[in-house]
Amino acid sequence: MKFEKILRDVNSHKAWLIPLALLVSAFIIRLIYLNQMQDLPTFDHPIMDEQYHVELADQINNKTLPKEPYYRAPLYPYLLAILMRITGGSLYGVRFLQILLASFLPLLVFGLGLRLFNRKVAFWAAAIAVFYPTFLYYDITLLITSSMVLLTVLFIRQLYVCRDNPLRLTSFALAGLLLGLAGLARPNILLAGPALIIWFWLVLLPQLGWRRTLIRYALLGIVSLVVILPVTVRNYVVSDDAVFIAWQGGFNFYLGNNREATGWSATVPGIDPSWQGGYRDAIAIAEHNQRRTLKKSEVSDFWYNLTLKEIRTDPSNFLSLQLKKLRLFFNGYEIPNNQDIYFSRQFGPLLSLFLSDRLIYWPYGLLAPLAFLGFLFSLRQWRKFLLVYLVFGAWVLSLQLFFVCARYRQPLIPLMLLFAVYALVRIAELVRHRDVRNLTLAGVFGVLLIVESNHDLVHLAPERVEAENRLMLGNAYLEQDNQIRAMKEFRLALEADSSFAPGYNNLGMLLARRGSSFEAADLFRRAITLDPNTVETFVNLATVYLEKGEIAPAIEVLLKARQLHPFNDYVHLKLAMTYFEAGQMKEAKEAVERSLRLNPSNRTARQIHQQIQQALSNSKQP
């Protein structure tokens, strides 16, 4: 009662104090974490998706974007381009501006909580959002995650504005605007559009009648499409290809649902696990199968169709996989994608205070069960919460269609915080009223949910996780040309896991750069034995042979690589260059032409092809 009285006094006399306190606290805690993380080697030398976004932002600012449809939804790269222009390219500056924006999230949670529940639930959920560890982590990453969280909360809040003011058309137009922007950030959210038909049907139709209800739904949908339309038009203009937002959907659908899919990993046997290698394979395999050059939308369609064919062949495996993905969504482990959030605790001590993977997966391992209980408690008022149910369900379904990892479930955590706090409030009420029956039911169900959320579903070997983290650090140090630190990290990776092929490959690359070609060759051979799926290792070994003047072994290695990776255009190109160096022009011509069939836009391959043609022409002259 005392706390509620304080809240009432604040709201009645100085209503701005709570929002201000939330904003300032959120900013300070994020600023502390940002400054701690400056020692992370990837802070100024991004890798994987962060690197992709920085490169794309540079292309946007330099007006050198490739004339092809967007591979990924483009909102964040354009936002990043603006932030980089403001900060003069400073990644610290970009991250600083991001935490400034992200600091408003607790205010949005507080405002949404007031609409859905009461001051107590709103305040405590917002207070937790100030310190919630994955918010801290993703708010400084060069990823769409933080922006998507804000857009999702804004969209849901606006839907409740529509509910409270159903006669105001501008409210529905603004909801459509937010849905369109969120779709340009992560198209998954667009599944909420069809899901909202249920709310319009059950809640709005009885109030407004058919005509007004249809006008409002149409307005929301049309505005969202108008927001997205410039991207669709741009994709068509530059490539004559009708790509709605981005074309990676089909390939991601395959990664998440093929026969070998884990439900969380973005890799699959037979496809190069590296980012660039996987991108090339996605195109090359599709074009080889269709026996022609494909538009990017056709590449996506190929992977959709292949996945659906596999699902029809083995529907039981697909259903089992969907159940696993649903369990992964509620599992407390923060599944990595690109970088391991738990490893970041070594550089950001603040994160260690709020994130743990011992005993239970804190905090998500407790948040998910409590949020689920909160949803159950709320069912008596289902009409009030129907908008939340529909958006939440649509997002979970979108993850089911692809794969689950920590960053993809972030947009729903603000909702989960509100419902988790609501569950605690309801449990406290049951205790206060001595409602033994319902308290027992809630307790038993809650314990079962906590057990479900806190056991290992991913089965990642700790030694492999440590090796991958050390490899990431080594690569970052190598990017900074700090070879001594890089070598130390690569060796630590192999100490952690002696069967870790990328560790041997990268250590071999470093030793080759330092002139230790014999030792490097041994490391490359070891890496190939452990994992023949990475094309780069074959190319590295062939390069070492060539530097030693051993052309025949280099050709043998590349022929083996071509056999294992027939759809990799660079393997064929490297083989062509090696044949050319050996004076075997006929074989060189055949190899480079195969490379060009797989990737006609490769300028280097075209230049090599011209040189080979010229050499063949000269050889025919008397």
Burial of 292 from C-beta contacts in 10 A (0-12 / 13-18 / 19+): exposed
What residues contact residue 71 under an 8 Å CB cut-off, 6+ apart? 246, 247, 248, 279, 296
pLDDT at residue 167, rounded to an integer: 93
pLDDT at residue 617, rounded to an integer: 78
What residues contact residue 15 under an 8 Å CB cut-off, 6+ apart? none
DSSP for 514-583 reads TT-HHHHHHHHHHHHHH-TT-HHHHHHHHHHHHHTT-HHHHHHHHHHHHHH-TT-HHHHHHHHHHHHHHT
Whether 232 shows a pLDDT value over 50: the answer reads yes
Read off the pLDDT of each residue in 27-46 and give the average, rounded to a whole number. 95
- Please tell me whether residue 90 adopts helix, strand or coil conformation: coil
- Contact between 568 and 272 under an 8 Å Cβ cutoff? The reply is yes
Whether 14 shows a pLDDT value over 90: the answer reads no
Which tokens is 342 given? 């738990």
pLDDT at residue 622, rounded to an integer: 45
Tens digit of pLDDT for each residue in 431-458?
A: 998 888 989 999 999 999 999 999 899 9
Whether 483 shows a pLDDT value over 60: the answer reads yes
pLDDT at residue 588, rounded to an integer: 87
Tens digit of pLDDT for each residue in 561-608?
A: 999 888 888 899 999 999 988 888 888 889 988 888 888 878 888 888
The contacts found for 120-128 with CB under 8 angstroms, 24 or more apart, are 120/3, 120/4, 120/7, 120/421, 120/425, 121/418, 121/421, 121/422, 121/425, 122/418, 123/7, 123/18, 124/421, 125/414, 125/417, 125/418, 125/420, 125/421, 126/22, 127/22, 128/417, 128/421
Instruction: Measure CA 119 to chain center.
Output: 34
pLDDT at residue 611, rounded to an integer: 87
Which tokens is 372 given? 């689920």
- Contact between 391 and 192 under an 8 Å Cβ cutoff? The reply is yes
What residues contact residue 33 under an 8 Å CB cut-off, 6+ apart? 136, 140, 348, 350, 351
**pTM for this structure?**
0.90
Tens digit of pLDDT for each residue in 55-103?
A: 999 999 999 998 999 999 999 999 999 999 999 999 999 999 999 999 9
pLDDT at residue 1, rounded to an integer: 47
Tens digit of pLDDT for each residue in 377-417?
A: 999 999 999 999 999 999 999 999 998 999 999 999 999 99
For 250, other C-beta atoms within 10 Å of its C-beta total: 22
Whether 300 shows a pLDDT value over 70: the answer reads yes
Give the max Cα distance, the chain: 105
Whether 132 shows a pLDDT value over 70: the answer reads yes
Whether 273 shows a pLDDT value over 50: the answer reads yes
Between the alpha carbon of residue 362 and those of residues 28, 134, 244, 500, the distances in Å are: 22, 11, 39, 29
Which tokens is 77 given? 């790269």
- Please tell me whether residue 96 adopts helix, strand or coil conformation: helix
Q: How confident is the model at residue 12 (pLDDT cuts 50, 70, 90)?
A: low
Whether 274 shows a pLDDT value over 80: the answer reads no
Higher per-residue confidence, 8 vs 420: 420
Whether 22 shows a pLDDT value over 60: the answer reads yes
pLDDT at residue 5, rounded to an integer: 57
- Contact between 375 and 369 under an 8 Å Cβ cutoff? The reply is no
Which one, of 234, 229, 190, lies nearest residue 69 by Cα? Answer: 234
Whether 269 shows a pLDDT value over 90: the answer reads no
Read off the pLDDT of each residue in 231-258 and give the average, rounded to a whole number. 94
pLDDT at residue 43, rounded to an integer: 93
Mean pLDDT for the chain overall: 92
Tens digit of pLDDT for each residue in 160-217?
A: 999 999 999 999 999 999 999 999 999 999 999 999 999 999 999 999 999 999 999 9
How long is the chain?
622
Tens digit of pLDDT for each residue in 328-341?
A: 999 999 998 878 99
pLDDT at residue 234, rounded to an integer: 97
In sequence order, the β-bridge partners of residue 330 are: none
For 104, other C-beta atoms within 10 Å of its C-beta total: 17
Instruction: Determine what percent of the chain is predicted with pLDDT higher than 90.
Output: 74
Burial of 618 from C-beta contacts in 10 A (0-12 / 13-18 / 19+): exposed
Which one, of 295, 317, 177, lies nearest residue 247 by Cα? Answer: 295
In sequence order, the β-bridge partners of residue 339 are: 337
Higher per-residue confidence, 17 vs 104: 104
As a whole number of angstroms, the distance between CA 146 and CA 105 comes to 9
Domains of the chain: 2-244+330-453 (no CATH), 461-552 (1.25.40.10), 566-622 (1.25.40.10)
As a whole number of angstroms, the distance between CA 14 and CA 8 comes to 10
Which tokens is 335 given? 């599944």
Q: How confident is the model at residue 128 (pLDDT cuts 50, 70, 90)?
A: very high
Instruction: Determine what percent of the chain is predicted with pLDDT higher than 70.
Output: 97
Q: In the block, which residue shows the tokens 């075997």?
A: 584
Instruction: Return the C-alpha torsion angle 519, 525, 530, 535, nearest 10.
Output: 120
Please give the angle made by the CA atoms of 519, 525 and 527, to the nearest 5 degrees. Answer: 105
3-state secondary structure 220-260: HHHHHHHHHHHHHHHHHHHHCCCCCCCCCHHHHHHHHHCCC
Q: Find the DSSP H helices in 291-432.
A: 296-313, 315-330, 349-354, 364-378, 382-401, 413-432
